[in-house]
Amino acid sequence: MSQTTLGIIGTGMVGVAVARRAVDAGLHVVLSNSRGPETLADLVAELGDRVRAATPADAARAGDLILAAVPLAAHVRLPRAELAGKTVIDPMNYALYPGFSIPQLDTDELTSSELVQRCLAGSRVVKALHSIGPKQLLELFRPAGAADRTAIPLSGDDPTAKKEVTDLLDLLGFDAVDLGTLAESWRSEPNTPLYALPYVGQPPSGLAPLEFVAWAQQAAGVPVSAGRIEELAAAAVRGPAGFRM
């Protein structure tokens, strides 16, 4: 897998954290964002020889696997044609804010990843890397077999694509727990016990949503075993989708 190229669309907090882990793991990485490759020059220089910047379409073409680390609202602008035939990792979470909501998600008709899969009909979408924060991702990686290795849930409709993402997570320093299809991925969406909290522990009480986000972004990572992920997924109850900002 060390010859694998990871295409990353979206180089905010999640895209950059995954890029750092991928480079440390020996992968080649092609980074892209909405503003153009020239805006990524400093990051490319910092990350080294195995990294280059491109447009989203070029990152999609170049990647053996693609991470689409953009806001969910931007999934409709992903380069569909170039992503066709590829495995696309979807870490996107549904955040509701004034003027933005998605009715099929509000009624639980679809999970957010089913929505993304419908949009990227020619791709194999795997939901992963959405429930752990970037800081914790950069702290909790461990070699295979380590007693305190952290596990990450994934969901998808294509077994081969899930195996590819499982192998990638292993390389990045994590075990994977398969939660089933994209329809079942609500079990690790926001508002479930699997989402974010296991990796950061108990927050101070009384935090408003934005205060929780700020707290979680600086919280020390807490290792989470595969068994714990399985327990939390089995106990999940489907409620309203998305978190309100």
Ligand X SMILES: NC(=O)c1ccc[n+]([C@@H]2O[C@H](COP(=O)([O-])OP(=O)(O)OC[C@H]3O[C@@H](n4cnc5c(N)ncnc54)[C@H](OP(=O)(O)O)[C@@H]3O)[C@@H](O)[C@H]2O)c1
Residues whose CB is less than 8 angstroms from the CB of residue 85 and which lie 6 or more positions away in sequence, other chains included: 122, 123
- Rounded distance between C-alpha atoms, residue 41 and residue 161, angstroms: 31
The residue behind tokens 């905010």 is 12
Q: Would you count residue 34 as binding ligand X (CB under 6 A)?
A: yes
Residues whose CB is less than 8 angstroms from the CB of residue 112 and which lie 6 or more positions away in sequence, other chains included: 72, 90, 92, 93, 94, 102, 105, 185, 189, 241, 242
Q: Would you count residue 69 as binding ligand X (CB under 6 A)?
A: yes
Stretch that binds ligand X, among 68-76, 159-167, 175-183, 198-206 (CB under 6 A): 68-76
Q: Would you count residue 14 as binding ligand X (CB under 6 A)?
A: yes
Q: Would you count residue 93 as binding ligand X (CB under 6 A)?
A: yes
Q: Would you count residue 156 as binding ligand X (CB under 6 A)?
A: no
- Rounded distance between C-alpha atoms, residue 26 and residue 29, angstroms: 9
Beta bridge partners, 28, equal 5
Q: Would you count residue 91 as binding ligand X (CB under 6 A)?
A: yes
Q: Would you count residue 123 as binding ligand X (CB under 6 A)?
A: no
Residue nearest ligand X, Cβ-based: 12
Kindly tell me which residue out of 23, 29, 53, 70 binds ligand X, with binding defined by CB under 6 A. Answer: 70
Q: Output the CA angle 7-120-141, nearest 5 degrees.
A: 40
Closer CB to ligand X, residue 10 or residue 157? 10
Q: Would you count residue 71 as binding ligand X (CB under 6 A)?
A: yes
Q: Would you count residue 133 as binding ligand X (CB under 6 A)?
A: yes
Q: Would you count residue 15 as binding ligand X (CB under 6 A)?
A: yes
Kindly tell me which residue out of 4, 8, 11, 177 binds ligand X, with binding defined by CB under 6 A. Answer: 11
3-class SS string, 99-116:
CECCHHHHCCCCCHHHHH
Residues whose CB is less than 8 angstroms from the CB of residue 153 and which lie 6 or more positions away in sequence, other chains included: 128, 131, 176, 177, 178, 179, 187, 188, 194, 229, 233
Q: Would you count residue 10 as binding ligand X (CB under 6 A)?
A: yes
Q: Could you tell me the smallest distance in angstroms from the CB atom of residue 3 to ligand X? A: 25
Kindly tell me which residue out of 134, 153, 156, 198 binds ligand X, with binding defined by CB under 6 A. Answer: 134
Q: Output the CA angle 202-207-211, nearest 5 degrees.
A: 105
Q: Would you count residue 77 as binding ligand X (CB under 6 A)?
A: yes
Closer CB to ligand X, residue 146 or residue 215? 215
Contact positions vs ligand X (CB under 6 A):
9-15, 33-35, 56, 69-72, 74, 77, 91-93, 95, 130, 133-134
